[in-house]
Amino acid sequence: MNTTHWSVENNVDNFEDYPQVAEAAQYIRDNQIVAFPTETVYGLGANAYSDEAVAQIFAAKGRPSDNPLIVHIAEYQQLEKLVAGISKQVKLLITAFWPGPLTLIFPKKSGVLSDLVTAGLDTVAIRMPSHPVALALIRTSGLPIAAPSANRSGKPSPTTAKHVEQDLDGRIAGILDGGATGVGLESTVLDCTGPFPVILRPGGITKEELERVVKDKIEVASHLLEKTDVPRAPGMKYKHYSPSAPLYLVDGEVGWIQSLIDEKRKQGFKVGMLASTETQSKYKADLVLDVGSRNNLDHVAHQLYHTLREFDQSNVDLIYSEIFPQSDVGVAIMNRLEKAAGHHWVIQEKQDS
């Protein structure tokens, strides 16, 4: 398959009049799949009404069919056509955070969307992105667009069109290049269909921000799904966001982490180290990459996937990663790192005093 590449400039006043966006929107209407930028990561979009179109997403990504997709919309009126009800609590969240990196789970209206989008569930995940190119593509196509991240399943999500090209060139119809994304991590997924709101996937909108709006405590789904469980949102069940080399989270002092690196290098392994700005210079490994300062977790979130992909270009045999504070967006950072590592930790034993 030949993949069409379009580029749009960030200083365009009206993306809906941009010919590249119009052509990409026609691809969507023709039930072809197109990668496009959002404020979080690049998405791989398809007509959410069409089984034929949505099936191509799963084929291109190698994505398990029981992993539901997020539907992207550009107007509130689109939401009303897709869902069976909108609670007062959800209306507050929409007013506060849409357009933006918040996905909300609704009871779906039956017989409207492709069943492939919802993986057979009676609920649907929907968000309104804030990226102007994404909004223009949705409006110009006139369709709700189902879109997971535009990468091969299990790999780090793409934050540039180049990342999409590395994974999917020749496997999809088009790539709409709108520059680097902003947040760098996928949206927060919040389920409001039960007795109380539950975060199914942490992201750019934090638990604290959500609680300030709903004026109630919000739970966080922390359990690991079994093989037989059906995930209610993307990213809940399968290993995600992983570089080619195995990744291990290391919890300990710098000197102890360096001893792990030294031991592996003596055994002939090429070792990568994902470090913070504060500690990067203290490590000696085959490749040490700075993902950002512990004092600026928003920047760490923005850099994370790009940094994981850098390791793939270096052909390291294994990667150690520092851990980060689990506060605010740090919760999302550690969620992605844990999934990238397949929940493999190496923890320094505490010495008795």
Helices 132-141 and 19-29, packing angle to 10 deg: 50
Q: Contact 185/81 with Cβ under 8 angstroms?
A: no
Query: What tens-digit pLDDT sequence spans the chain (353 residues)?
Result: 999 999 998 767 787 788 999 999 999 999 999 999 999 999 999 999 999 999 999 999 999 888 999 999 999 999 999 999 999 999 999 999 999 999 999 999 999 999 999 999 999 999 999 999 999 999 999 999 999 999 999 999 999 999 999 999 999 999 999 999 999 999 999 999 998 899 999 999 999 999 999 998 999 987 544 444 656 666 565 567 899 999 999 999 999 999 999 999 999 999 999 999 999 999 999 999 999 999 999 999 999 999 999 999 998 999 999 999 998 999 999 999 999 999 999 999 987 65
188-191 sheet: strands from edge to edge: 4-7, 174-177, 34-36, 43-47, 145-146, 70-72, 123-127, 102-107, 188-191, 198-201, 219-220
| Phi, psi dihedral angles at 71 (to 5 degrees) | -95, 130
Tens of pLDDT, residue by residue over 178-187, are: 999 999 999 9
In CATH, the number for domain 247-347 is: 3.40.50.11030
Domain 4-220 sits in CATH 3.90.870.10: yes
Q: Is 101 exposed, middle or buried (0-12, 13-18, 19+ CB in 10 A)?
A: buried
The span from the CA of 11 to the CA of 14, in Å, is 9
Sheet bearing 271-275, strands edge to edge:
287-290, 271-275, 318-321, 247-251, 345-347
Q: How far is it, in rounded angstroms, from Cα 235 to Cα 186?
A: 10
CA dist., res. 276 & res. 293, Å (int): 5
The DSSP line for 84-103 is S---HHHHHHHHHH-SSSEE
Amino acid identity, residue 221? A
Contact 144, 7 (CB under 8 A): no
Angle at 43 between CA 41 and CA 44, to 5 degrees: 155
| Residue 234 preceded by cis peptide, ω within 30 | no
Is there a shared CATH topology between the 4-220 domain and the 247-347 domain? no
- Inter-residue contact 296 to 174 (CB < 8 Å): no
Domain ranges of the chain: 4-220, 247-347
The length of the chain, given as a count of residues? 353
